[in-house]
Amino acid sequence: MTDSTVYLIGAGPGNEGLITVRGLELVRKADVLVYDQLGTSAFLDQVPEGCQMYDVGKSSGNHKLSQDGINELLAQKAKEFKTVVRLKGGDPYIFGRGGEEYLYLKERGIKVEVVPGITSAISVPAYAGIPITQRGYTTSLAIITGHEAQKEASELNWKALAGIGTVVFVMGVKNIGKICQNLINEGKDPSTPVAMIRNGTLPSQKTYIGTLATMEEIVKKENIQPPCITVVGKVVDLHPELNWFERLPLYGKKIVVTRSRSQASSLLKELKELGADAIECPTIKITEITDNRAFESFIEKQGDYSHLVFTSVNGVEVFIKKLLEANKDLRILYGKKIICIGPATAKAFKDRGIIPDFIPETYVAESMIPYFEKENNAKVAILRAEKAREVLPEALKKLGHQVDIIPLYHTDLEESLNPEVLDYLEKSEIDLVTFTSSSTVEGFAKMLEKTTIKPESIPAAVIGPVTEESCNKYGFNVKIKAQEFTIPGLVEAINFLFCDK
């Protein structure tokens, strides 16, 4: 037996922000990940390289692996690896069969640690504006598995449940008729409010409100599908007043982010915080130039340069990485003026204790020209992507400055469109596609060439005039342009576009 531990971890209800710090920490160092279908998808890309992953998810009528099979898998992997993570939606001990897994492993001498999770029975109603306990509304609470209602000889005490103020049913969509009728039969008022919340805590969340007498018909009419949480009780009446999540400004909007995977996180995060269903669809990837003779030459004669110009965060990151590889550090910047296009590029230096000498008011290359008109005989190194606009170097040369272009990375196009995005586009269900550079526009246009989707059908949001020009070139339908050419500026423009809609 190896010195191993099996961690039974609750992933929460599905929203990636609702896993515990401890849970995410363990996912990120797992040797083996055994995961469920619901509530875990947001964390599958957090595992380290080489982690073995096993999907044992269960859905109604479809069990990829029996519970006995899951138990055996965990025990076997604990013999082979040190850190085995069993990632379960919600909480491991609330209708999660975590107790069964623990006992099975304990009997075999395997060390187990339980990391509680935020159960959907509590979090999903909270995201729908329904506090499941509230003074003046209820003094009692029950949490029930909805599957129990389908059994002829149910173990549930329906008479007792009818007397409880709030009853939360987990996984009860198919049995909603029996649930409502059993409660009515035991004396619950047919007009008792009922809420069914589908895809709770996710951008696709939707809340349906009815009563014990009407909810079954609503489910049929709206064709409500699992997964759902059902809340029965007077607290449902608080939904109209406390429904915060579904009132977020971008709630329900499907917005595509086309930045490279390494850059997408900040835009995805800001859009999701405003309620958007932000979908990652990278159209480019940033690749460092490895055998870089131009950079080697720069290092050799770095003392000759008076000004260093950085046009992107990527340039700063790669520059510092290559400095360290050359056994150099930021002291090489002594005596040079650091010029940055955009606050994000400047922040990459500020975070390392370097204050740039100049950041233009507008974040395009042309905005630097007035600054260099005041300089005399500057020796300028522009550290940037391999392929970029030549406006700045050409203008600086005309002003009499010496200019060297030091390419640090190149931008490659991704080959295929995210299948999820393609499906939404074909159904005309995408509200906006965001573009943060001309290369993202080019990459998306190339991807569309393999489909029947026309560029003019793509509603676009662009970060600035250069990107807008590229969109017009390919025929995209530009809906909004950021006033400030930054990620926060783009988010603000998108928010403005939908704020009155």
452, 266 in Cβ contact below 8 A? Answer: no
Which residues are CB-neighbours of 72 under 8 A, at least 6 positions away? none
Q: For 192, which DSSP code?
A: -
Alpha-carbon gap, residue 402 to 305, rounded angstroms: 9
Which residues are CB-neighbours of 162 under 8 A, at least 6 positions away? 183, 186, 187, 188
Kindly calculate the radius of gyration of the chain based on its CA atoms and give it in whole angstroms. 28
Find the largest Cα–Cα distance for the chain.
Answer: 91
Strands 111-115 and 52-55, bridge-based pairing: unpaired
Alpha-carbon gap, residue 315 to 305, rounded angstroms: 17
Which two three-digit tokens encode residue 234? 């007077």
Catalytic residue among 31, 36, 277, 431: 36
Which pairs count as long-range contacts for 22-30, CB under 8 Å and 24+ apart, including other chains?
22/115, 23/87, 23/115, 23/117, 26/83, 26/85, 26/115, 27/85, 27/87, 29/83, 30/83, 30/84, 30/85
Q: What is the per-residue DSSP string for 336-362?
A: -EEEESSHHHHHHHHTTT---SB--SS
368, 310 in Cβ contact below 8 A? Answer: no
Catalytic residue among 58, 336, 347, 379: 58
Of residues 186, 190, 183, 154, the one with CA closest to residue 168: 183
Strands 62-63 and 58-59, bridge-based pairing: antiparallel
Catalytic residue among 31, 171, 196, 481: 171
211, 193 in Cβ contact below 8 A? Answer: yes
Q: Residue 193's beta-bridge partner residues?
A: 211
Edge-to-edge strand ranges of the sheet holding 379-385:
284-288, 402-413, 379-385, 307-310, 337-340
418, 279 in Cβ contact below 8 A? Answer: yes
171 is catalytic: yes
Catalytic residues: 36, 58, 171
